[in-house]
Amino acid sequence: MKRKKLKIILLVVILILASLYWGYQKVKRFADTSLAIGQETIFKLPSGTGRVALAGLLVRDKLIHNGRWFPWLLHLEPELAEFKAGTYRLTPGMTVRQMLKLLASGKEAQFSARFIEGSRLRDWLQVLQESKYVKHTLAGKDNAQIAVALGLPKGSSLEGRFYPDTYLYTAGTTDLALLKRSHVRMEKILQDVWNKRDTSLPYKTAEELLIMASIIEKETAVPEERTKVASVFINRLRLGMRLQTDPTVIYGMGESYTGSISRKDLETPTLYNTYVIDGLPPTPIAIPSRASLEAAANPAKTDYLYFVADGKGGHTFTTNLTSHNEAVRAYRKVQKEKNEK
């Protein structure tokens, strides 16, 4: 009788152990199962989310098919239960365990906002407005209010005061925070370039160098031409000649610019029309790159006073009006031949 009872107890123990082993294997298999995603997915884990709520979110977002084994996994591997609130990037092939390790690491997804040289502040604000994971705090604010928010003196111009680059951020970063990062970087780089400038140049302040750099940025996209373009404008400033640069006219036209400028536009006075005003315009007209800042700080030593597009992506530089007019005619000929093809 006792032997029979022992056999029953042993059988029960074996069944229990087998069940536990079976359950253990199921949990392990669940942990090693890939998430049910076929492409990169952004997952937001709200603050205060507990174990049960997380399982529900994963099922709701169809990251896992069901949460049956989820609590058991967290019991078996408690270190995976230390997840942190945030926004995370999940990738195809990532297992449930790898996902939980990511959530426990707190390494949130990085997003990017690209600010392009030669663009304007309004373009940058649009980029920020369209950035899904940026917290928008500047909507409806004008430039004066944004300047105050950045801690700049009242009446400060914002155009050109930000450094163009790709900025990484985590979800919830404010648009103001990204602008501050860009502004601080530009201030640092501008000061560095200013300190290394040719001190014989006719700039009174670093702001004037920034203005010149913005004009250079808009005039050429050919790297090796930047210092030549700078030399033309510096030579004109020294001789008291007007800069006569189209990008300043376009900037001064504001919203009335529709893609082309006429002779009337060149003759219409604005604060920025360098065909009408002497010297530099009052503020930058775009966001300059470091290359344009350095060109403005150390122009080539030339006698050039004019340049015009050559129709091949670059410019022809000349020292006198006669040669310049010839270069203009050559450009028009190239354009005519292109149009006839």
Whether 287 contacts 117, CB under 8 Å: yes
Per-residue confidence (pLDDT) for residue 332, from 0 to 100: 86
Whether residue 263 has pLDDT greater than 60: yes
DSSP alpha helices (H): ranges in 196-280?
Answer: 206-219, 226-239, 246-253, 263-267
Average pLDDT of the chain? Answer: 90
Whether residue 237 has pLDDT greater than 70: yes
Mean pLDDT value of segment 285-311: 95
Confidence of residue 13 (pLDDT cuts 50, 70, 90): low
- One-letter identity of residue 38: G
What per-residue string of b and e applies to 39-67 under the rule 16 or more CB within 10 Å gives b? eebebbbeeebeeeebbebbbeeebbeeb
What per-residue string of b and e applies to 91-127 under the rule 16 or more CB within 10 Å gives b? eeebebbbbbbbbeeeebbebebebebbbbbeebbeb
Greater confidence (336 vs 245) lies with 245
Domain residue limits, the chain: 30-48+55-109, 111-189, 205-304
Class of domain 30-48+55-109: alpha beta
Per-range mean pLDDT, top range of 4-13, 18-27, 309-318: 309-318
pLDDT in tens, 131-149: 989 999 998 899 899 999 9
Which percentage of the chain shows pLDDT scores above 90?
65
Per-residue confidence (pLDDT) for residue 14, from 0 to 100: 61
Single pTM value for the model? 0.85
Greater confidence (67 vs 267) lies with 267
Whether residue 21 has pLDDT greater than 80: no
pLDDT in tens, 156-209: 899 999 999 999 999 999 999 999 999 999 999 999 999 999 999 999 999 999
Whether residue 257 has pLDDT greater than 60: yes
Per-residue confidence (pLDDT) for residue 1, from 0 to 100: 58
Q: What is the DSSP letter of 116?
A: -
Length of the chain equals: 341
Per-residue confidence (pLDDT) for residue 9, from 0 to 100: 61
Whether 119 contacts 286, CB under 8 Å: yes
Q: What is the rounded (10 degree) CA torsion for 323, 325, 326, 332?
A: 150
- CA-angle at 228, arms to 224 and 234, nearest 5°: 145
Rounded-to-integer distance, Cα 319 and Cα 231, Å: 11
Lowest-pLDDT choice from 38-47, 58-67, 104-113? 58-67
Q: What are phi and psi of 206, to 5 degrees?
A: -65, -30
Lowest-pLDDT choice from 74-78, 157-161, 242-246, 292-296? 74-78
